[in-house]
Chains A and B, each alone.
Chain A
Amino acid sequence: MDEAAIRATGLTKQFGPRTAFSDLSFEVGAGEVFGFLGPNGAGKTTTVRVLGTLIRPTSGTAEVAGVPLGEGSDSRLRGLVAIMPENPGLYLRLTVYDNLEYFAGLYGVPKANVRGRILSSLDTVGMASRAQDSAGSLSKGLRQRASLARTLLSEPKILFLDEPTSGLDPVATREVRELIEGLRSHGVTVFLTTHRLDEAERLCDRIAVMNTTLRVVGRPDDLRRQLFDSTIEVRTRVPLVDPQSVLGGVPGVRTWSLDGDGSYQVTAGDIAAVTPELTRALVAANADVLRIGEVQRTLEDVYLQLVNEDVEVRR
């Protein structure tokens, strides 16, 4: 990994007797889009708030944009990062421009640069023509985009996006995703919390799955490999007479199982080597093969596997 933009070690946050999250340790590389997944109440938003210095951790340490979390560094750190909360939080009576001008002031953007910075941020999110519109007149998708423009004002090194597409329709969701992809190309580190697994899979270089504790961190492909054996799906027109001798006899096959009438799931270590052998064995057994191919595990499978494990443990 390149230089770490975020480094958390043993980070824990408790609210009285309730643990929001505990013992989080992970790193996010500079320029990376890092997905943070977990069910409701997993501690994702609290993690963002702790890393953004809005609330203090109960224990553990973290370094964000090279600045350690702690008393005295809060204001400096907040100048290097930007957080887009789930709720856009715009002043609805003010225009989009006035909203952004206020935040440019809070970020300490020099007066001479304020107008240029606002127009550039609005241009990035495709809202330059809506600058003088009242924020209250915008659709939810446009408010989300205006909120994203607000986070760009300070030209942050790290951007925390908390459920940025929550409640948006498919078109608005796609627009926000395209904006995030655009940010990646500008080298901004993006820390993205989301429920949407397809979104995480599409946008994120690496993801972490948490449920008050960190369950896994890695690239989506690596996580799939870690959690699931490589599986080949075989479907024949007529069920095999002796599947054990056909499927179980192929070198490299670990296990096989019946998955419905004439449908089999075969696990193997090296799919590239086993698939041709398996095909030959099926042909030799005079099987009418309808389909043979690798089962593609999605990030959703990974996520559900981990979350279901948690549910099982709690039972």
Chain B
Amino acid sequence: MNFRAVAVFRKELRDFRRNKLVVATMVFLPLFLLLLQIANVLAIKQGTPENVVRGTLGGAGLAFFLVPLILPTVIAAYAVVGEREQGTLEPVLTTPVLERELLIGKALAAVVPSVLISYALYLSYRIVVQAAAAPVVVKLESRPAWVVADILFTPLLATFSIWVVLAISVRSNDVRVAQQLSGLAMIPMIGVIALFTFQVVTPSVRVALLGALGLLVIDSLAWRVVVRLFDRERLLTRFGST
């Protein structure tokens, strides 16, 4: 990875670690979702109608996909507009750092912890399911389509979330507006994921792989759009350079 992008990445992580509110949000929300889903799943007894089981597991699946979608927004919405409000953006823009280096550094700093937390969450959930859930739950949760989807979708969804939020952040004038718009921007993607988790689209390994490929394409397009949207002049003066 580029040296300057690494510098941005390291600084962002240091800054998050010292922001107790961000750390608390990143820990509390996933923990709450994990406990909620575990409680739901453990309540399922052997002999529960399959449609009920599928519905409960669909909700749990959606919850686990929400984490990589929502967590990065906590960090990334602040990434550009927050720095501008704090007055730290201008000194950064005076350095030789390129737009793409700055954005990659910031994106990775949001993606890496979000993905690690999401994987840890999923792993904890699976351990509990294997150890204590009813056999029907264990059987359904062990389907290869789910495992593949969880492994592949998590980083791709987090990346998608980052680019959307960064796009909003580089064009917003206020952190709160950026955070609210970022939340709204996630709704269509949540809808698509729900089609998969509630089995409106039949979950298979093929569908999971195709979905991951689609997300990869969307992510790379979104990255190009964000780099284009990053306009130093607009960020410093509120007037665009074009």
Contacts and interface: CB of A to CB of B under 8 A. Distances in A.
Interface of A: 15-16, 46, 49, 52, 54-56, 75-76, 78-79, 82-85, 87-94, 98, 101-108, 147, 150, 154
A303 to B, nearest CB: 26
Interface of B: 3-4, 6-8, 10-11, 14-15, 18-19, 86-98, 232-233, 236-237, 239, 241
Given A94-B18, A147-B91, A56 B96 contact: no
A87 B86 CA distance: 10
A106 B7 contact: yes
Contact of A105 (B3, B232, B233): B3
A147 B87 CA distance: 12
Contacts of A101: 7
Contact of A102 (B7, B89, B237, B241): B7
B4 A93 contact: no
A85 B96 contact: no
The 4 closest A-B pairs by CB, nearest first: A105-B7, A106-B95, A93-B18, A87-B87
Given A93-B19, A105-B4, A106-B4, A55 B241 contact: yes
Given A93-B19, A106-B95, A15 B237 contact: yes
A107 B91 contact: no
B91 A103 contact: yes
28 contacts: A16-B239, A49-B236, A52-B94, A54-B232, A54-B233, A55-B232, A55-B236, A75-B96, A75-B98, A79-B96, A83-B90, A87-B90, A88-B87, A88-B91, A89-B92, A90-B88, A91-B15, A93-B15, A98-B14, A103-B91, A103-B95, A104-B7, A105-B11, A106-B4, A106-B92, A108-B4, A150-B91, A154-B95
State the majority secondary structure of interface residues on B: helix
A78 B99 CA distance: 13
Nearest to B12: A102
Contacts of A104: 7
B4 A89 contact: no
Contacts of B94: 52, 54, 78, 82-83, 85
Contact of B90 (A56, A85, A98): A85
Nearest to B90: A85
A11 to B, nearest CB: 15
Contact of A56 (B4, B86, B92, B233): B233
A46 B237 CA distance: 9
A89 B3 contact: no
A15 B239 contact: yes
B3 A108 contact: yes
A76 B96 contact: yes
B40 to A, nearest CB: 38
B11 A98 contact: yes
Nearest to A147: B91
A88 B241 CA distance: 25
B206 to A, nearest CB: 43
B237 A55 contact: yes
A91 B11 contact: yes
A87 B83 CA distance: 12
A89 B87 CA distance: 5
Contacts of A49: 236-237
Nearest to B87: A87
Contact of A94 (B14, B89, B236, B237): B14
Nearest to A98: B14
Given A15-B239, A56-B241, A89 B232 contact: no
B11 A102 contact: yes
Given A91-B88, A106-B8, 14 more contacts: A46-B237, A54-B236, A78-B94, A78-B95, A79-B96, A94-B14, A94-B18, A98-B11, A98-B14, A101-B7, A102-B8, A105-B7, A108-B96, A154-B95
- Residue picked from B10, B88, B91, most chain A C-beta under 10 Å: B91
Contacts of A78: 94-96
A49 B6 CA distance: 26
A55 B237 CA distance: 9
- Residue picked from A16, A75, A90, A147, most chain B C-beta under 10 Å: A75
A120 to B, nearest CB: 18
Nearest to B20: A93
Contacts of A108: 3-4, 96
Contacts of A105: 3-4, 6-8, 10-11
A167 to B, nearest CB: 13
B25 to A, nearest CB: 16
Contacts of A92: 86
A300 B98 CA distance: 42
A16 B239 CA distance: 8
Contacts of A54: 90, 93-94, 232-233, 236
Contacts of B97: 75, 106
Nearest to A50: B233
Contacts of B18: 93-94
B32 to A, nearest CB: 26
Nearest to B11: A102
B91 A85 contact: yes
B11 A94 contact: yes
